[in-house]
Amino acid sequence: MPAAPVRFLVVLDADSTLIRNEVIELIADEAGRGPEVAAATEAAMRGEVDFATSLRSRVEVLAGVPVTAFARVLARIEPTPGVHELIDAVHDRGGAVGVVSGGFHEILDTIAPRLGVDVWRANRLATADEALSGLVDGDIVDAAGKAQALGEWAAERGVALSRTIAIGDGANDLLMMAAAGLGVAFNAKPAVRAQADVVVGPVDLSEIIPLLP
C-alpha cells in the first residue's frame, strides 16, 4: 500500500534518541560482554571508527545469545522523555514519524509501533538454532543508509527534503541530518553538535515540538 501524502516528515535515530538505551549494549550484557561493547559503541558514535566495521565486530561478540533473551532486553528499554508528546504533535500537525536505526529490527519491531512511529528501518541479526550467529543479516544501515531512508520516505509521502527534520545523537546520524531540511543534534556527541542546525541539550524530545512546521 503506498504511503499517504503528509505535510512534513520527522526522522529520529533510535538508540540514545528515541530510547535512552543502546540496544547492542543490552544484548551484549546477555553475553556477559556489556562493558566492552559499550566502549566500542561509544567510539563509533563519536565518529572515531567506521560504523559498519565497528558494528560487524560488535555483533560478533553477540554470537550464542539465545533469541529468548530479546524479551529481557525489551523489558529494559526506556523510551526517551517527551517521545509521546513529540509524536502526537507531529501527527496533530499532519506529519509522519520515521525511525532509522543502526540497531536492530528484532527490538525496533516491538518498540516502534508501540510508540506510534509510522515507518522504521534497522539492521537484522542473523540466527542459527534459535541463537544469534554473530553476523548481520543483509546490508548494514550505516550513515548513508540512514540518509537514504529519509530520502525514500520523504519521496513516498510527497514531502520535499526542505520539509524534513532529522534528529540524532551519533556520528552515523550526520548524513541524514545534512540531507534533511533541519538537522537536530539531540543528546548528542560533540562532533554531531558541531555540525547540526540546532542543538537540543535537555534529554526531552518535547523540546523539538516548537521546531515543527
Would you please indicate which residues are annotated as catalytic (active-site) residues? Answer: 13, 15
Strands (E), 64-211: 95-104, 119-128, 131-137, 164-168, 182-186, 198-200
- Least CB distance from residue 33 to Mg ion, whole Å? 20
When the beta carbons of 6 and 166 are compared against Mg ion, the nearer one is: 166
C-alpha cell at 19: 530510547
Collapsing DSSP to helix, strand or coil, 49 comes out as coil
Q: Do 191 and 175 contact (CB within 8 A), yes or no? A: no
Q: Which residues bind Mg ion (CB under 5 A)?
A: 13, 15-16, 169-170
Continuous segment of H or E residues that includes residue 55: helix 51-60
When the beta carbons of 16 and 164 are compared against Mg ion, the nearer one is: 16
- Least CB distance from residue 158 to Mg ion, whole Å? 28
- Least CB distance from residue 172 to Mg ion, whole Å? 8
- Rounded Cα gap, residues 69 and 25, in angstroms: 13
When the beta carbons of 142 and 169 are compared against Mg ion, the nearer one is: 169
- Residue 146, number of CB atoms within 10 A of its CB: 27
When the beta carbons of 13 and 30 are compared against Mg ion, the nearer one is: 13
- Least CB distance from residue 104 to Mg ion, whole Å? 13
